[in-house]
Chains A and B, each alone.
Chain A
């Protein structure tokens, strides 16, 4: 089966592209990004603030599996309904800097659409750290599971 979500992260660059085709009309796909209650549902994060307008800003709050609270926020530079969102994104309290995100929404058919996310990091090093994050987390989680198994068998 063809992979639905594609990542294009070329070596030696400080940006990457994430593309995905959805079985959704483009207006619904766009809505999922601008309406607070919908963002909450699919991002599984609390939306503290969501001003989906030019020069607006947003703020999310999440809790990890250990119960630690962490925040995410950004400023919306521009927003064109059903077409484009240009915004910044920051994971608070991390060394990953502030990334610039350009979302392109495209209609494919009446019921399908495509999202292209262009993410630009402050440096190539920062991009690579963010890319490695789920990889590192996967390793940590595997360790954690191993530890838990050992604890139980004691």
Chain B
């Protein structure tokens, strides 16, 4: 089985984050995206490809043009990745509170 690209690795790159914030506002063609950067069109195209592979970007075809837009569902998934970490601590602290409340009444 081929391993898919790591979505966190994808958003770790500043150029790719800049691309995401651009298309967040409106769907754009690869050319229009590249116009916002000094890098070669090929470089930007590669970044777009990685974002599309990770499903952070989706494309739609309008006539001859391909437009990229953000995949809100996938973005939310990534934004929520911190939630399990928070929950782990929350549960740990709940336990601390319960243990100490019991300790208090025993005193």
- The chain A residues found within 8 Å of chain B, CB to CB, are 3-7, 9, 18, 20, 22-24, 28-29, 31-32, 38, 41-44, 115, 128, 130-135, 137-138
Contact = CB atoms under 8 A, between A and B. Distances in A.
A84 to B, nearest CB: 17
Contact of B86 (A6, A28, A42, A132): A6
B65 to A, nearest CB: 32
B1 interface: no
B92 A42 contact: yes
Interface residues of B, number: 24
B99 A32 contact: yes
A38 B95 CA distance: 11
Interface in B65-96: 81-90, 92-96
Contact of A134 (B12, B85, B93, B98): B85
Contacts of A130: 85
A42 B81 contact: no
Contacts of A31: 100, 103
Given A7-B82, A7-B85, A38 B100 contact: yes
B100 A29 contact: yes
A24 B102 CA distance: 11
B7 to A, nearest CB: 10
Interface in B19-59: none
Interface of B: 8, 12, 81-90, 92-101, 103-104
A41 B94 CA distance: 12
Most-contacted residue by chain B among A5, A41, A133, A137 (CB, 10 A) = A5
B97 A43 contact: no
Contacts of A6: 86
A23 B97 CA distance: 7
B100 A20 contact: no
Contacts of A44: 95
B103 A3 contact: no
Nearest to A7: B86
Contacts of A5: 86, 89-90, 93
Contacts of B85: 7, 130-131, 133-135
A5 B96 CA distance: 13
